[in-house]
Amino acid sequence: MTAKALSPLSPGDTIGILGSGQLGRMLAMAAAQLGLQTHIYCPERGPALDVSAFHTCAGYDDDAALAGFAASVRRVTYEFENVPAHTAEFLAARAPVHPNPRALTTAQDRLHEKTFINSLGIATAPFAPVDGIDDLRAAVARFGLPAILKTRRMGYDGKGQAMIRPGDDLGEVLAQFGGQRAILEGFVPFTREISVIAARGEDGAFAAFDLNENEHANHILSVTRAPADVSPQSAQNAIAMAHRIADALDYVGVLAVEMFLVIDSSGERLIVNEIAPRVHNSGHWTIDGAETSQFEQHIRAIAGWPLGAPTIRGRVEMRNLIGAEVDGWRALLAEPGMHVHLYGKHEAREGRKMGHVTRVWPQAFSGKAP
């Protein structure tokens, strides 16, 4: 089914969402705001179920449950990129799946992803496939050290990666990967990590939010600030890259493109790290800090509706509440101007994203007086 042949949804229609985490929850809340219902499909109960009219709890390999789910919704989307290929293909044969399964399979495998990005003339870190020790030795000889070994699939929040430093035993590093196929990436001496959150509609319309500047702690996103501190030219280039990626994938929905900003004697350069084919943690500020949130934008895009204005409302900072940090919720609520979002997770395990807070400093009026 091509996106162009689809008829737009009407208020009251139902959108299916794979995954029951906080992203699914915020998507369901945005859908409700627009008069749409949601049906969450998940193997395990999660916070999205609290805010969705319908749910199916079954495995991603349960074809009978998947068929029933597909029959009950007008569009299918997902909140995580590790949707099994079979599940995406099975559903796509029965209902429109946005973003399409090709976007998913491209983003799921770092080798395919980086090859695809380079094919568009967009720079990534130098990379090479590593299927054994000989590949690793050859890649280290090419890129030098430090370098980063990453599993091709299923890596997130720094999981499935190892930094290799001069003097490290390559055999030992590779043994930690337990035979999983990997890539070696040359180390990028970046100044800042940034991301672009953008949306493409069923009609090909494109809209990007202001660039995000991201800080990580223990490999998990900690703080996002927008707009990012980059030159106007870099901001324009970053958005143009996201646009090219979205067009090339015939993408429908919100996507995130994570990039490194390198500043050296030759100026500013952007290097794409990865694509997330979904709403993204670095776009959470848009709920309070933009005319349209990334969640509403995703729902609009997949419903075949006009995209909303991505205009930022000032200068914005979003902080994740990780693990026990959420225990400070009462004090956060008492802070004027603090927008508190709690995900309704019952157990504040270490490293778990429990909520986030956003502050917006409104832009001073800078236009001409009427």
188 is a contact residue toward ligand AMP (CB under 6 A): yes
Rounded Cα distance, 131 and 133, in Å: 7
Tokens of 317: 């900072």
314 is a contact residue toward ligand AMP (CB under 6 A): no
Please state the length of the chain.
Answer: 370
Q: Which residue in 54, 80, 177, 187 binds ligand AMP (CB under 6 A)?
A: 187
Cis check: omega of the bond before 99, within 30 degrees of 0: yes
CB-based contacts of 331, cutoff 8 Å, min separation 6: none
Based on C-alpha coordinates, what's the Rg of the chain?
21
Closest separation in Å from C-beta 205 to ligand AMP: 28
Closest CB to ligand AMP among residues 3, 275 = 275
CB-based contacts of 40, cutoff 8 Å, min separation 6: 16, 17, 19, 20, 24, 28, 48, 49, 52, 54, 55, 56
CB-based contacts of 182, cutoff 8 Å, min separation 6: 129, 130, 131, 149, 150, 151, 152, 174
Closest CB to ligand AMP among residues 87, 161 = 161
193 is a contact residue toward ligand AMP (CB under 6 A): yes
Closest CB to ligand AMP among residues 193, 202 = 193
212 is a contact residue toward ligand AMP (CB under 6 A): no
Closest separation in Å from C-beta 100 to ligand AMP: 23
Closest CB to ligand AMP among residues 188, 301 = 188
155 is a contact residue toward ligand AMP (CB under 6 A): yes
Pick the stretch among 79-87, 185-193, 229-237, 294-302 that binds ligand AMP (CB under 6 A). 185-193
Closest separation in Å from C-beta 186 to ligand AMP: 6
Buried b / exposed e over 142-173, threshold 16 CB at 10 Å, is ebeeebbbbbbeebeeeebbbebeeebebeeb
Rounded Cα distance, 62 and 255, in Å: 27
Closest CB to ligand AMP among residues 280, 359 = 280
Tokens of 197: 């959150």
Q: Using an 8 Å Cβ cutoff, are 145 and 164 in contact? A: yes
158 is a contact residue toward ligand AMP (CB under 6 A): yes
148 is a contact residue toward ligand AMP (CB under 6 A): yes
Q: Which residue in 4, 45, 216, 349 binds ligand AMP (CB under 6 A)?
A: 216
113 is a contact residue toward ligand AMP (CB under 6 A): no
Contacting positions for ligand AMP (CB under 6 A): 125, 148, 155, 158, 161, 185, 187-188, 193, 216, 219, 258, 273-274
